[in-house]
Amino acid sequence: GADWSSYVVRDGLLITGQNPASSSEAADVLVSVLGELASV
């Protein structure tokens, strides 16, 4: 992707972003994971 664009990876419970531009997307993934865990 382009320099400083958002890039987030999830591997199980590990969620990581490439740079500060990834913060919002990483937060969205975290909320999604928490929703999945709450429904278990």
Distance from C-alpha of 33 to C-alpha of 2, rounded to nearest angstrom: 26
- With residue 8 as reference, give the H or E element that holds it: strand 8-11
* Mean pLDDT score, 2-28: 95
Distance from C-alpha of 20 to C-alpha of 40, rounded to nearest angstrom: 31
Tokens representing 35 are: 């929703």
Per-residue model confidence (pLDDT) at position 40? 82
Tokens representing 34 are: 């928490």
Confidence band of 2 (pLDDT split at 50, 70, 90): confident
Q: Domain boundaries in the chain?
A: 2-39
In Å, what is the CA distance from 2 to each residue of 19, 32, 39?
A: 12, 25, 36
